[in-house]
Every structure is written in C-alpha cells, then in structure tokens.
Amino acid sequence: MKVYTGHGDDGTTGLFHGGRVSKASPAPEAYGTVDEAVAALGLARVEIEPGSDLHEILLTLQRDLFVVGAELATLPENRGKLDDGVTLVSQEMCDRLKVEVERLEAELPELTEFVIPGGERVPAALDHARTVIRRAERRAAELAGGGALPGTLVVAYLNRLGDLVYLLARRAETRTRTLHGD
C-alpha cells in the first residue's frame, strides 16, 4: 500500500471497500478519532512492562480499535462486505469488555472522591486515552444517528471501552499508591 498517492490533495479521502468523502465529513472525523485513541493507548502501553496483564489488555484494545475504524470507514452500502470481529464490531467484542468492566468494578474499592489525573504516568496516559475514546464515541454516535451505521455496535463498544479504560486507570493509580505507601 502506497502512503503517497496524491488523491487526497483535493480534500477527499478513500473509504474501506470503496468510495470517497470529504476529509471534513463525519466518517473521517469518527475513524480519525479512533486512530487517536489507538495512539493514546500506545502511549500508555509503552510505559508498561511487556507481557504484563495490562500491557496485553491494551494491545488487544488497540487491535479491536482497528476493527472499529474499519467499520466507521465503510459506506452504508458496503457494510455487507464487513466480517464480524475483523472489520465489523461484534457482540463478542462488546461482551468481552463488559466482563472486564464487571471484574474490575468488583476488584476496585468504592470511589469516595473525584479522581484527578496526573499522579503517575500510566494512569494519566490511560485517562488521556479515555477522553479520546469518549470523543470517538460522540463522533460515532453522530454518524450512527445520521443513519450511516445501521445496526452498529460501534457506539456500544466505545461506551464500554471508555468505562474499561477509566477502570484500568483507577487500578493503575491504586497499584501505584500501594507501591509508594500512600
């Protein structure tokens, strides 16, 4: 795949399975924000010990977000060409997040105050990733509300992902406090 084609010089971008739209339209805004979320999770992951459970969770989430991006970058008339869990968000992907959210909710102490990001690098990076995910969710909801994502699970996935990343940040912050004796 060539990076430079010159086709985007007119302000349009090519979509998955064909078609072109303005780079300023809702679809590129949505999948571009998902791409930002992938990068933000990568910034958190680089701070984490390779092979640890958190490192592996984040890597899985980054891969999942490529599935989200593929679905968002597809015109409604081409959605039939998408494959569950590969280029189309599947119920299994959403269910996997729900299980992780429930597990972490049971593990973490009840919240008694607002969490202020910035105490440590990993939780702060995860909090940043969460805000980008929430923006991606808003962009996807706008796209879905306009009829461009019939029958989609993208918004549900991003909603659960935002919850999960919030809880991962809390867990990382809790573990950091424990290590430092706070």
Q: Which CATH architecture has domain 26-180?
A: Up-down Bundle (1.20)
Query: What's the CA angle centered on 24, arms 36 and 151, to 5 degrees?
Result: 70
> What's residue 7's pLDDT?
61
> What's residue 179's pLDDT?
46
Does the predicted TM-score (pTM) go above 0.85? yes
133 vs 178, higher pLDDT: 133
pLDDT tens per residue, range 3-53: 666 666 777 777 788 788 777 889 999 999 999 999 999 999 999 999 999
Q: How far apart are the first and last CA of the chain?
A: 50
